[in-house]
Structure 1
Amino acid sequence: MVLHPEDRRRAARTSLEGLAYGDAFGERFFPRLRPLPASRRLIADRTAPPEPRWHWTDDTAMALDLVAVLETHGEVVAQPLAQRFAATYRADPGRGYGSGMHALLPRVAAAPHAWEELAGLLFGGEGSLGNGAAMRVAPLGAWFHDDLDRVVDQAARSARVTHAHPQGVAGAVAVAVAAALCARGEAPDLGAVADRTPAGPVRDGLLRAAGLPPAADPGRAAAELGSGRQIRADDTVPFALWCAARHPDDLESALWATAAGFGDVDTTCAVTGGVVAARTGVTALPEEWRARREPLPES
C-alpha cells in the first residue's frame, strides 16, 4: 500500500488535532492553575476544566512545525525543521518550552547550519533525553503509517534535531510507531511498539507497561512507570502509551486516564491524544472541549 499525499496529510492532521486537544486539556491540571485536590475532583467526576480558553503549549507548537516540514518536503529534512523550531520559539518563547529548548533554539536561530553540533552539546555533551521529541511526533507516525520501517527512521531523524541522546530518540520512535499502528486501524500494542523501540530504559518501561493489568488504576500505573515528573522520555512515554493502549477506541477516556497520572500532564496527554486520535479521530470529543481549545492555525 502506497498512500496518496493527501491521505498522508489527512492522517497526520487528525493525529495533530488529538495531540493539541490532549496538550491543552492536560495543561489545565498543573498546580499553578488550581490546587491538586480540586484537580482530583474534576478528574474523578470527569468535569471539564472551567477555564473558557484552553491554550496549547510547546508540544503542539513543535508538532505543527514537524507537520509543516512533512507537508513541504514529504519527509523529515533536518535543517528546515531546526529553523522552523527556532523561528516558532523566537515568535512565542512563553509556550512552556523546557530548559533544553531555551538553551538550544536561540543558538540554532543564530547558526541554523550547526543544529546537529548544538543539539549534541546539551546536558554536558550527552544530548537531551527529555520527552520533547516524543511529545510532538505522533503525527509523523500517522503520516508514514504504511511503512513501519520508515516510521522508525523518520522519527529518529526528527528527534535528533533537538534530542541527540539515544533515549530521547527512542521515546520518539516508540510514540511514532504507536501512532502508526493506530492510523492503520490497529490497537497500539505495547509489545509490538517495544519490538521496534531501541534498547534501553524507554523500551524497558514499555515492557513493564505491557505487564500491567489493563484495569489497573492510572495512579498506580503512573507510580510504577513514571508520568513525566523527571521530564525524561523513559519517565513519560511508557505511561502515556499504556493509557493509549488501555483506551484505543475512546479518546476522551484515554485523556482522563492520562490526566489522572498528573506529572508532566500536558505532555503525557499530548502523546496519548496524538496516538489515539490517529485511530479514532476527534469528532466524539465533547462540544465544550471544541469550544474551549485554542484553534490550530489553518496552514
Structure 2
Amino acid sequence: MRAADPALDSLQGLALGDAFGDRWFSVPIDELSDALAVRTLRPAPWPWTDDTAMALVLVRHLITWGEVRQDALAGDFAAEYGREYHRDYGPAMHRVLRGIGSGGDWRAITSSQFEGHGSYGNGAAMRVAPLGAWFADDLDETVRQAELQALTTHFHPEAVAGAVAVALAAALAVRTRGRRAPGRAELLTEIAGRLPDSEVRSGLRIAARMPDRTSVRHAAAVLGSGLLISAPDTVPFALWSAAGHLDSLPEAIWHTVAGGGDTDTTCAIAAGVVAARTGLADVPPAWLAAREELPDWVAEVSTSS
C-alpha cells in the first residue's frame, strides 16, 4: 500500500497540528505572543478535534475504496460524528451530520444550509490534506476528488475552492519530496492558477505577493486566520504559512499558531501539507507523546505499507 504512505504522513501531521493548535485556541493575542516568543509549550495532553476525526474518516475511506464515493463517505462522516460528537464540531456540522445520520439525503441537507447557499466554512478544507497526498501523481484527479469529498458536507463554492486549494498544496508538497522546496510565491501562485474564480483564489494571490519579510501578525490581519470560520478567511493564511516552511514541520506549526484565530484548523491545514513532504522525522518526541494517540488502525496500516 505504498500509495498510502504520504497520505498517512499527512494525516499524522494534520493531527499533530490540530492538537497543538487547539491548546492555543482562545488564548488572548498578547499572551499568545509572549508565550510564543520563548516557545513555551502548552500543558499536555493535547486532544485532537473534529479536524482530525473527519480526516481519519476520509483516509480510511480512501484505503477502503481508493477514491471518494460520496454516499458512503457522507454516511461515514455521520457515523463517526455519532460516536465522537464531542470533538468540537461547528453548529452547522451538528445539523448536517445529525440529519445524515438520521437517514436524510446529504445532497438535500448540505444544499439547504444557510438559505440554500450551503456552508462556506473551513471544514471541507481542514480534513483534506491527506487526500491531496494520496492523489499526488495526478493533479486533475486531486482536484476532482477534493471537490467530491467537500460536497458531502459543504455545498458552497468557496468551501469547495478552499478544499481544492489545500489538497493541491499537499499534492505539490509530495511531488517535491527529496528535492528543493518551491518558493512560497511559486507554490501559492501555482495553486491559485488551478482554482476557479473565488475569494479563496484572490486570497492566495494576495498571499503570493506578500514580501518575504511579512510578519505573521500582518499576514493574519490581511488574509484572515480563521476568526470567521470560513474557507476564504482560513485557507490563504494557512497555506501562506505552510508554503514558507516546507522543510520543517515544527517551524510550520509554531509559525501558524502565531497568527491566532482558529488555531486548531490553521495548524491542521498547514501541518497536513508540510508533513506530506517531510513526514514527522523532525518532530520533538515530547510533542508526539503529548498528542492524543490516533486509532490503532493507523499504525497497523503504516506497518503493512
TM-score bracket relative to the smaller structure? over 0.9
Q: Secondary structure at the match of 1:174?
A: helix
The percent identity for this pair of structures is 52
Q: Give yes or no for the alignment of 1:204 onto 2:197.
A: no
Q: Give yes or no for the alignment of 1:70 onto 2:62.
A: yes
Give the number of equivalent residue pairs. 290
> In the alignment, which residue of structure 2 is the partner of 1:291?
289
Give the Cα separation in 2 of the matches to 1:290 and 1:215: 31
> In the alignment, which residue of structure 2 is the partner of 1:61?
53
Residue type of the alignment partner of 2:220 = A
User: How do 1:236-251 residues align onto structure 2 when only pairs under 5 Å count?
Assistant: 236-251=234-249
Distance apart, 1:36 and its partner CA: 4.2
Gaps (5+ residues) in structure 1? Answer: 1-5
Give the one of 193, 211, 216 matched to 1:213: 211
- Could you report, residue by residue, the CA deviation over 1:3-62 in whole angstroms, capped at 9, with x for unpaired residues? xxx12211111000000000000001122xx5543332221112211x221000000000
Give the Cα separation in 1 of the matches to 2:256 and 2:8: 22
User: How do 1:198-277 residues align onto structure 2 when only pairs under 5 Å count?
Assistant: 198-277=196-275
Give the 4+ runs in structure 1 shifted more than 6 A: none
Give the Cα separation in 2 of the matches to 1:134 and 1:283: 25
> In the alignment, which residue of structure 2 is the partner of 1:12?
7
> In the alignment, which residue of structure 2 is the partner of 1:3?
none
> In the alignment, which residue of structure 2 is the partner of 1:37?
30
Q: Secondary structure at the match of 2:196?
A: coil
Give the one of 110, 120, 132 matched to 1:129: 120
Q: Give yes or no for the alignment of 1:88 onto 2:80.
A: yes
TM-score scaled by length of structure 1: 0.95
**Contact preservation (8 Å) 2:6, 2:277:** no
Give the Cα separation in 2 of the matches to 1:220 and 1:165: 28
Q: Secondary structure at the match of 1:152?
A: helix
Q: CA RMSD in A?
A: 1.1
Give the Cα separation in 1 of the matches to 2:8 and 2:116: 35
TM-score scaled by length of structure 2: 0.93
> In the alignment, which residue of structure 2 is the partner of 1:143?
134
Q: Secondary structure at the match of 1:14?
A: helix
Give the Cα separation in 2 of the matches to 1:197 and 1:206: 10
Gaps (5+ residues) in structure 2? Answer: 298-305
